[in-house]
Amino acid sequence: MTSDLALHGQVAWVVGASGAIGRAVAGALADAGAQVFASSRQARTLEPLARPAQGTREGCIEVLPVDVTSTKSVAAAVRQIMDSAGRIDILVNTTTVPRFGAFETLGDEQWWEVLDTKLMGYVRTLRAVLPVMAAQQYGRVVNITGRGGRQPTAAHLPGSCANAAVNLLTKGLADSYGARNIRVNAVAPGPIRSDRLDQLLQASATANDRDAPGQLRMASPIQRPGTPQDVADAVLYLISPRSDYITGIVLQVDGGGTVTL
């Protein structure tokens, strides 16, 4: 590990760490030396991810529950992290709620569930953490969105709309907080090997989607789905000093599959 990717002494909060991407991100941050708090609605699902500190230069992972649809739950998680670590240097939002299907089959409840969990969930964690970072005059934020924020998929329109909104939120906060040494970026994965990808492929096959299942698998110059580690590596770059002059961007991690600029 080169020194400019090391995160020794930094405190990170990975929200939505029960998913494949969240788990990979939490592990990568701990491997780089950070003290990581990994959260999900059901914290017990994260217990295998927990990693005790082995020494002053080693990272660790502590799990804690948070329901991002609850402002009180988010505030309680921030208090717990501050009581334990005294600061929050890194926030990585990875929460998602997959609701796939043809547009006419998805009702208001499913749309609101996605927006409340993805868009407003990110708003709640950011609203709680950014004042802490502003007081420190230091912070690094990465919001995980998705390729659908720029190139929507018919079987995943609620998620695509939420991702587009988070992309705009990311840029707005980057502009607002840059002078306080807080960088805010987004990572937009394409198809990533996971149970969620399997669900999307199945839904796309029946949703009159122009992206047929085979195209979703191979819809990039790099003809393979990505891995959670591909996304984690991009996150690590965006919070490291190697990217100190980068803020407000949406980094596509999709093998070149996005056809828009």
**Would you state the structure tokens that stand for residue 258, as one six-digit string?**
């996005």
End-to-end CA distance of the chain: 33
- Measuring CA to CA, how many Å separate 247 from each of 124, 164, 167, 251? 20, 17, 12, 10
Specify the amino acid at residue 34: A
Among the listed residues 159, 160, 147, the one whose alpha carbon sits nearest the alpha carbon of residue 192? 147
Please list the residues that pair with 15 across neighbouring strands.
39, 93
Q: What are the chain's domains?
A: 3-253 (3.40.50.720)
Dist CA 198 CA 182 (whole Å): 36
How do the pLDDT tens digits run along the chain, 261 residues long?
445 688 999 999 999 999 999 999 999 999 999 999 999 998 888 999 999 987 666 799 999 999 999 999 999 999 999 999 999 999 999 998 888 888 999 999 999 999 999 999 999 999 999 999 999 999 999 999 999 999 988 888 999 999 999 999 999 999 999 999 999 999 999 988 765 555 555 555 454 555 444 344 446 788 788 999 999 999 999 999 999 999 999 999 999 988 877
What is the sign of the dihedral through the CA atoms of 129, 131, 137 and 142? positive
CA 72 to chain centre: 21
Q: For position 224, what pLDDT does the model report?
A: 82
